[in-house]
C-alpha cells in the first residue's frame, strides 16, 4: 500500500513540475545589431538564442564602452524591447515583433526578450 502511495505522489509531483512553465525561457533565433568599432569600421553583433526576461547590454568587440548600437533586427521567435539606455532603463524604448527590424536611426544599448 505504501508503494502505491509513493508512486502516486511521485507521478503527481512530476506532472506538476512539467505543467509549470520555466521562468527564463530562451528566445529561439538570432538578434542582430550594427555598431562602430573603435577603429571606425561598421560591424554586426548578434545574440543567439538569448535568455528571456533578462536584460542584455549590447556592446560589440572593440567598440567604445557605452557607445550605442543601431539598426536592430529581431530574428527570434520572441518580442524584443530595445532601450536607448543601458540596463533596460529610461523612457526611450522600442518594441520589435518577432522577425521585425528597425532602421539605422534607432540607437540601442540594451534589450530584453519576452
CATH class of 29-113: mainly beta
Question: What is the four-CA torsion angle of 6, 8, 14, 16, rounded to 10 degrees?
Answer: -120
Q: What are phi and psi of 103, to 5 degrees?
A: -80, 175
pLDDT single digits (tens) 99-109: 999 999 999 99
Which carries the bigger pLDDT value, residue 14 or residue 51? 51
The helix or strand, by DSSP H or E, that contains position 22, with its residue range, turns out to be none
pLDDT band for position 24 (cuts 50, 70, 90) = low
pLDDT single digits (tens) 32-66: 999 998 888 999 999 999 999 999 999 876 677 76
Mean per-residue pLDDT for 4-19? Answer: 46
Structural domain spans, the chain: 29-113
- The predicted structure's pLDDT at residue 44: 94
| Alpha carbon distances (Å) from 64 to 6, 53, 75, 84 | 59, 26, 25, 16
Mean per-residue pLDDT for 85-89? Answer: 94
The answer to whether 69 and 82 are in contact (CB under 8 A) is no
Amino acid at each position: 500500500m505504501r508503494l502505491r502511495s509513493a508512486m502516486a505522489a511521485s507521478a503527481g509531483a512530476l506532472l506538476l513540475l512539467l505543467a509549470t512553465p520555466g521562468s527564463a525561457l530562451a528566445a529561439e533565433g538570432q538578434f542582430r545589431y550594427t555598431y562602430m568599432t573603435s577603429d571606425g569600421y561598421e560591424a554586426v553583433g548578434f545574440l543567439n538564442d538569448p535568455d528571456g526576461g533578462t536584460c542584455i547590454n549590447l556592446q560589440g568587440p572593440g567598440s567604445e564602452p557605452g557607445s550605442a548600437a543601431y539598426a536592430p533586427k529581431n530574428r527570434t521567435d520572441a518580442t524584443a524591447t530595445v532601450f536607448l539606455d543601458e540596463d533596460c532603463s529610461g523612457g526611450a524604448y522600442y518594441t520589435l515583433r518577432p522577425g521585425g527590424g528597425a532602421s539605422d536611426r534607432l540607437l540601442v544599448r540594451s534589450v530584453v526578450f519576452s
